[in-house]
Structure 1
Amino acid sequence: MTTHPHPEDHAPEHAPRMQWAKAAPEVYKAVYALEVASRKGLDPTLVELVKIRASQLNHCAFCLDMHTKDAVAAGESVERIVLLGAWEEARHFYTEKELAAIELTEAVTVLTDGFVPDEVYERAAKHFAEQELAQLIALIATINVWNRFGVATRMAPGHYQAGSHKA
């Protein structure tokens, strides 16, 4: 039987570089306000799927730890969370609306070609009313902001408790 270490048993690979929320409290408060505003009117399950997918793409372990725990606590299945990294091969686990949001999340997060392809935007626009689509884009932009702070400052995963930081 293989045993895996618990986060509490080991120090993080890299020590956090700083406590950015304490070093720049006004920035933290502004991003948090953006977080609260960006979630309005969006399905909470969809919110967590978007945050998890962007965090996977950005390699933000802290945000992955947080949002997978929050998703499970909100009733999301572990199966759908695990398969999110391979959503294109596991499309049948997600609704068409979720797939459109996940695809838009990838396009906005990665910006591979320097823009969001028209067909990706149009697919999302079919499933989201204009105001809801604006909220979704704001949500994607916001998790990317959080991810960049998390990755740049090496925020350590493993100690977040689900629901302890609700927006």
Structure 2
Amino acid sequence: MDGELYGMLTRLVALSPSDDPGLNALVRRTCAAALSLPALPSDGPAVDHPVVADFAEQFATDVSVLSDAQRGALSKALGARTFGVVALTFVADYLPRVQAGLAALGLPPVPAPADWDRDTEPVDLLLNGFAPMVGARRALDPVLTEVVRLRGAVQHNCRLCRSLREGAALDAGGSEPMYVDIERYEESTLLDERQKAALRYVDALIWTPSRIGTDVAAGVRAHFTDEEALELTLDVMRNATNKIAVALAADAPRVPEGTERYLLGADGQPVYG
């Protein structure tokens, strides 16, 4: 398997900023409880912070209905620390999902860290380290990758993500009629069985990660190699970083209406315009 990707996931588990270890422990405990999954390990005990706990629970359960009152209370309580704590909440929310997905597919688990990382900036590691590292992988074809991305965009109701269309996927056969069908993929005649198997897995990771059905896992195993299945799992996590923008109401589209074409560069970073 991809040692570089697994190493990055271990680094995310190891995050424990020196100024927020108690809050990091709190969001790890809260998100896991909301998902009925084992919590990531923590560097010390959780603090008692009802505002952060309330935000983290809603973030994990359904970020699309997180209220202005909840995000306002978090910002008021944390000030300049807000963005970093939301990034830690994402790690607490999504790495247990990834572990559950890997287990369901019979893939190796994420290794536990040897020590805590108290110095690395969580936002930087997540958005400038993890996200482009996954985005640079090309085991999956661009249309499948885009179909998976757009399903997550709708499930998290990310306005920016819903407004984007990846150019390589369009050039490879992606189309608006196909993308419309993603919302009712089981009935679609435009999406093939491989794409549908991927979308069932996407939905399971997003909504029922503690209960990934054997049929869902079998569908992935039937259509994807180990390398592809790992990339698929981590694509769901990479796409879900949109939860951070949605949670902070920072997901406005770049165009006033319609869609915008972009490219996912060889370095895994989006290229606009």
C-alpha spacing 1:69/1:130, structure 2 compared with 1 (3 Å):
closer
TM-score calculated relative to the size of structure 1: 0.73
Read off the aligned partner of 2:262 and give its amino acid letter: G
**Residue number among 137, 149, 165 corresponding to 2:244 in the alignment:** 149
C-alpha spacing 1:147/1:89, structure 2 compared with 1 (3 Å):
same
Report the equivalent of 2:190.
Answer: 93
1:62 aligns with 2:160: yes
Report the equivalent of 2:204.
Answer: 107
Contact 2:145/2:235 (8 A) holds in 1: yes
Q: How many equivalent residue pairs?
A: 145
Q: Which runs of 4+ in 1 moved over 6 A?
A: none
Read off the aligned partner of 1:131 and give its amino acid letter: E
Read off the aligned partner of 1:28 and give its amino acid letter: L
C-alpha spacing 1:99/1:27, structure 2 compared with 1 (3 Å):
closer
Read off the aligned partner of 1:140 and give its amino acid letter: V
Contact 2:143/2:174 (8 A) holds in 1: yes
User: What's the secondary structure of 1:162's corresponding residue?
Assistant: strand
1:124 aligns with 2:220: yes
Read off the aligned partner of 1:148 and give its amino acid letter: K
C-alpha spacing 1:164/1:99, structure 2 compared with 1 (3 Å):
closer
What is the alpha-carbon root mean square deviation over aligned residues?
2.8
Identical residues among aligned pairs (%)? 23
Q: Which has the higher strand share?
A: 2
The structure with more radius of gyration: 2
2:138 and 2:159 mapped to 1: Cα distance?
25
Q: Structure 1: which 5+ runs fail to align? A: 1-13
Displacement of 1:74: 5.4
Displacement of 1:27: 3.6
Greater relative CO, 1 or 2 (CA 8 Å, sep 6+): 1
Report the equivalent of 1:137.
Answer: 233
C-alpha spacing 1:162/1:74, structure 2 compared with 1 (3 Å):
farther
Displacement of 1:103: 1.0
1:77 aligns with 2:172: no
2:263 and 2:190 mapped to 1: Cα distance?
28
**Residue number among 110, 131, 140 corresponding to 1:32 in the alignment:** 131
C-alpha spacing 1:48/1:164, structure 2 compared with 1 (3 Å):
closer
Q: Structure 2: which 5+ runs fail to align? A: 1-67, 69-74, 88-121, 269-273
Displacement of 1:116: 1.4
2:123 and 2:227 mapped to 1: Cα distance?
31
TM-score calculated relative to the size of structure 2: 0.47
Displacement of 1:129: 1.0
C-alpha spacing 1:134/1:24, structure 2 compared with 1 (3 Å):
closer
2:211 and 2:133 mapped to 1: Cα distance?
23
1:65 and 1:73 mapped to 2: Cα distance?
17
1:165 and 1:138 mapped to 2: Cα distance?
16
